[in-house]
């Protein structure tokens, strides 16, 4: 069976080699003819002189090298793909392992008979590793061909997988048993004879035989080869320890395998080492630092995640740009007046102060990406150094500042932290970040335009909703006014008449005031400011709220010039927000006092979850923007508008996890009277 199966395989492959002198133009014809010819030579040797003879083993080594060369020729068909060059290392390692197996066969000729089993075991182990490595490379070819390749290429891959699978099974059994079973030797001959027709069909099928291996596939192949080398090293080391370890060999082998594996896993889990490996592989194996297709797909996937499943858009923008260059953190800088102030961050903890108008003007004029390491040198551009705030240059984690330009206008910037492997940015980093900056600037501009449109729609909805309410209130005011006039003329009972007139007049005045506040055209004249005792007002509001939440009043009595009704409304809005934000039973404080500038002050202090600086700046005082489910977001907005109408202001001090302090500043009555 061994004789006839190998002879038949030799005949088939010889016919294939002779019939392909005029092959398909897209096929690496010379490499295929060489591999088929050496396979035929090996089959003749196995059939004529035996599969275990030295000549047959050397012919098998040449056959393996020829098929590896054919597979590598398939990878190298696409000379425009720089990633194909990286796989040469993998093929080189497998080829060296095959050569080592042939060398072991040569060494086995002159060794004593007692050492011959060890030599055969070593050769079987090396041959098994060659088969395993070749199967991994076939898998790499399968991943690299892509869905558009079909026909001949896939048939050739099936044939190659069968070739190396037969070798792997045979030499695994030989390594385990000490000798190759004759049944498996015969079955391998039959398998190789059956593989020949697959190659015959493959070379006559139409199809593109050029490969474009991706960077990911190349990294996976390198990782598989590293695993293969690790296994080979462990096998050889444990066999050596078994020979010299004596009675403690098993214990020494276990300690060696466990310690080596733990050390390797510890090294591979280090972020710096992983970053260093990525940089070195990209630098020495590829023409470009980045796989732009994979990088842009990850970039768009990060930006495109819906907000209900991910962070808000501002944070996703920072994360997407930081991931492009492996930056561990980033901070979005937004336009705040003429300067830039910190916005949403991604893993960024350092405090960054706001800048003045020099930096935005410089970035908008030049569009330059600022490299902080270059800026800290004496040779830095003086204009660039003068534009960047000194506090920013002192940040040790700051690496790059990417401007976000939209149609030539600066919409913000992204501050990137230094990567795990510190390196100087090059032209590829700048080009990629400049393109990403323009893309995310368009995202930000579109988001802001949508927010403005949504705000206008909410105002329109607000006006439509209350148009019907205004109509009903107007009718009610007219009716109450008429009742008051009739009661004034016709009531007989003087006491009832007085009560009725007072009630109706009060209701009419309240409805008229509400109508004036809701209407866009009918506005009641503002009441002149009068001295208002703030502590008395605070105690009255606290008494009103004590049924639902504890409220404490602190500070001396202070007089403020204000409209009592409007001031009551301002403090009421802020107090209601504090009640809703505070845990049950957590006391709220109303603090009364005066400032050094001569202003009256009343503060509403809660122990709630607090707010971020970005929320306070961008969302707190915007109408219809609320952090509470179902809220209209009008309380803080209306409180500030009413306070400013009385000549005062509302300030906020808040920190996440530490509560919030709203402070209402008003003109003090004593100061106004002295000025008069």
Q: Rounded CA gap, 563 and 645, in Å? A: 10
* 171 SS3 class: helix
The predicted structure's pLDDT at residue 650: 92
| pLDDT value at 541 more than 90 | no
Helix axes 427-490, 313-324, angle to 10 degrees: 180
Residue 570: Cβ within 10 Å count: 28
Quick one: 21 exposed, middle or buried, by C-beta within 10 A (0-12, 13-18, 19+)?
exposed
Question: Parallel, antiparallel, or unpaired for β 599-606 and 649-654?
Answer: unpaired
DSSP 329-376: -EEEEEEETTEEEEEEEES--S--PPP-THHHHHHHHH-PPEEHHHHT
For 210, residues 6+ apart whose C-beta sits below 8 A from its C-beta are 26, 77, 78
622/287: higher pLDDT = 622
| pLDDT value at 501 more than 80 | no
Q: Rounded CA gap, 115 and 324, in Å? A: 56
* Least confident among 368-372, 501-505, 546-550: 501-505
| pLDDT value at 561 more than 80 | yes
DSSP state at residue 619: I
* Least confident among 9-13, 232-236, 360-364, 618-622: 232-236
Handedness of CA 562, 566, 572, 574 (dihedral sign): negative
Handedness of CA 617, 623, 625, 627 (dihedral sign): positive
CB 9 within 8 A of CB 185: no
Report pLDDT digits (tens) over 419-450: 877 788 888 888 889 999 999 998 888 888 88
User: φ, ψ for residue 121 (rounded to 5)?
Assistant: -65, -40
| pLDDT value at 81 more than 60 | no
CB 284 within 8 A of CB 311: no
Distance of CA 460 to the CA centre of its chain: 38
Using a pLDDT cut of 70, give the percent of the chain over it. 74
Question: Parallel, antiparallel, or unpaired for β 398-406 and 370-371?
Answer: antiparallel
The predicted structure's pLDDT at residue 512: 67
77/592: higher pLDDT = 592
| pLDDT value at 521 more than 50 | no
DSSP state at residue 438: H
Question: Parallel, antiparallel, or unpaired for β 530-533 and 409-417?
Answer: unpaired
Residue 266, by phi and psi: left (phi above 0), alpha (psi -120 to 50) or beta? Answer: alpha
User: φ, ψ for residue 592 (rounded to 5)?
Assistant: -105, 145
DSSP state at residue 666: E
Comparing C-alpha atoms, which of 229, 255, 261 is closest to residue 241? 255
| pLDDT value at 148 more than 70 | no
Exposed e or buried b per residue across 283-322, where buried means at least 16 C-beta atoms within 10 angstroms of its C-beta: eebbeebbbbeebbeebeebbeeeeeeeeebbbbbbbbbb
Residue for token pair 């705030």: 389
Q: Rounded CA gap, 645 and 481, in Å? A: 29
Distance of CA 458 to the CA centre of its chain: 33
Comparing C-alpha atoms, which of 275, 213, 270, 216 is closest to residue 84? 213
Quick one: 237 exposed, middle or buried, by C-beta within 10 A (0-12, 13-18, 19+)?
middle
Residue 264: Cβ within 10 Å count: 12
393/331: higher pLDDT = 331
pLDDT band at 663 (very low <50, low <70, confident <90, very high): very high
- Taking the CA of residue 659 as centre, how many other CA atoms within 13 Å lie in the half-sphere pointing to its CB? 15
Comparing C-alpha atoms, which of 578, 570, 576 is closest to residue 665? 570
| pLDDT value at 613 more than 90 | no
CB 543 within 8 A of CB 506: no
Report pLDDT digits (tens) over 550-559: 889 999 999 9
Exposed e or buried b per residue across 405-418, where buried means at least 16 C-beta atoms within 10 angstroms of its C-beta: bbeeebbbbbbbbb
| pLDDT value at 209 more than 50 | no
* Least confident among 69-78, 195-204, 387-396, 487-496: 487-496
Total residue count of the chain as it appears in this document? 676
The predicted structure's pLDDT at residue 268: 66
Using a pLDDT cut of 90, give the percent of the chain over it. 11
Q: Rounded CA gap, 92 and 523, in Å? A: 87
Mean pLDDT confidence for 668-674: 64
Q: Which two tokens stand for residue 559?
A: 């007089």
Quick one: 337 exposed, middle or buried, by C-beta within 10 A (0-12, 13-18, 19+)?
exposed
Report pLDDT digits (tens) over 341-365: 898 889 888 888 888 888 899 998 8
CB 55 within 8 A of CB 49: yes
- Of the ranges 254-268, 472-486, 576-590, the best mean pLDDT one: 576-590
For 392, residues 6+ apart whose C-beta sits below 8 A from its C-beta are 352, 353, 355, 372, 398, 401, 415
The predicted structure's pLDDT at residue 301: 85
Quick one: 263 exposed, middle or buried, by C-beta within 10 A (0-12, 13-18, 19+)?
exposed
Exposed e or buried b per residue across 578-596, where buried means at least 16 C-beta atoms within 10 angstroms of its C-beta: bbebbeeeeebbbbbebee
């Amino acid at each position: 069976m061994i004789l006839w199966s190998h002879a038949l395989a030799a005949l088939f492959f010889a016919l294939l080699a002779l019939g392909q002198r005029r092959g398909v133009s897209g096929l690496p014809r010379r490499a295929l003819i060489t591999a088929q010819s050496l396979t035929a030579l090996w089959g003749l040797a196995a059939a004529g002189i035996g599969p275990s003879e030295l000549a047959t083993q050397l012919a098998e080594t040449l056959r393996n090298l020829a098929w590896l060369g054919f597979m590598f020729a398939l990878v190298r068909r696409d000379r425009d793909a720089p990633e194909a060059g990286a796989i040469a290392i993998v093929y080189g390692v497998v080829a060296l392992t095959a050569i080592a197996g042939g060398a072991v066969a040569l060494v086995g000729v002159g060794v004593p008979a007692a050492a011959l089993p060890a030599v055969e075991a070593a050769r079987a182990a090396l041959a098994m590793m060659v088969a395993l490595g070749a199967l991994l490379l076939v898998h790499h070819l399968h991943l690299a061909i892509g869905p558009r390749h079909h026909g001949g290429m896939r048939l050739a891959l099936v044939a190659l997988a069968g070739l190396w699978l037969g070798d792997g099974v045979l030499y695994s059994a030989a390594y385990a048993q000490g000798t190759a079973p004759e049944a498996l030797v015969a079955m391998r001959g039959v398998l190789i004879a059956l593989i020949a027709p697959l190659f015959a069909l493959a070379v006559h099928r139409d199809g593109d035989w050029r490969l474009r291996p991706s960077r990911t596939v190349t990294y996976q192949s390198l990782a598989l080869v590293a695993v293969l080398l690790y296994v080979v090293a462990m096998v050889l080391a444990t066999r050596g320890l078994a020979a010299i370890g004596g009675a403690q060999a098993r214990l020494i082998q276990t300690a060696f395998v466990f310690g080596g594996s733990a050390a390797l896993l510890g090294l591979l889990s280090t972020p710096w080492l992983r970053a260093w490996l990525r940089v070195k592989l990209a630098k020495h194996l590829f023409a470009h630092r980045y796989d732009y297709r994979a990088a842009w797909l990850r970039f768009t996937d990060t930006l495109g995640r819906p907000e209900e499943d991910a962070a808000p858009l501002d944070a996703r923008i920072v994360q997407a740009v930081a991931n492009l260059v492996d930056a561990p953190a980033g901070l979005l800088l937004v336009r705040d007046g003429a300067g830039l102030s910190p916005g949403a961050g991604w893993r960024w903890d350092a405090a960054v102060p706001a800048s003045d108008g020099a930096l935005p003007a410089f970035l908008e004029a030049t569009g330059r990406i600022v490299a902080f390491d270059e800026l800290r040198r004496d040779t830095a551009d003086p204009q660039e150094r003068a534009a960047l705030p000194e506090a920013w240059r002192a940040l040790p984690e700051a690496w790059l500042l990417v401007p976000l330009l939209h149609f030539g206008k600066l919409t913000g910037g992204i501050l990137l932290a230094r990567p795990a492997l510190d390196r100087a940015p090059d032209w590829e980093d700048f080009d990629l970040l400049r393109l990403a900056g323009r893309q995310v600037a368009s995202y930000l501009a579109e988001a802001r335009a949508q927010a403005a449109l949504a705000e206008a729609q909410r105002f329109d909805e607000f006006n439509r909703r209350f148009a019907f309410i205004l109509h009903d209130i107007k009718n009610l005011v007219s009716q109450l006014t008429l009742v008051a006039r009739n009661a004034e003329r016709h009531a007989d009972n003087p006491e009832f008449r007085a009560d009725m007139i007072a009630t109706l007049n009060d209701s009419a005045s309240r409805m008229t005031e509400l109508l004036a506040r809701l209407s866009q055209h009918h506005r009641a004249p503002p009441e002149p400011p009068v001295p208002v005792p703030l502590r008395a007002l605070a105690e009255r509001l606290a008494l009103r709220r004590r049924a639902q939440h504890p409220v404490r009043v602190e500070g001396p009595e202070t007089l403020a010039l204000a409209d009592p009704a409007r001031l009551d409304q301002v403090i009421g809005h802020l107090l209601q927000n504090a009640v809703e934000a505070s845990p049950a039973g957590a006391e709220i404080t109303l603090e009364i006092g005066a400032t050094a500038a001569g202003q009256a002050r009343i503060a509403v202090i809660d122990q709630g979850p607090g707010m971020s600086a970005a929320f306070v700046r961008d969302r707190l005082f915007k109408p219809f923007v609320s952090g509470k489910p179902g809220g209209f977001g009008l309380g803080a907005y209306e409180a500030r508008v009413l306070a400013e109408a009385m000549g005062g202001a509302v300030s906020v001090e808040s920190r996440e996890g530490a509560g919030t302090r709203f402070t209402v500043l008003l003109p003090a009555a004593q100061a106004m009277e002295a000025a008069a």
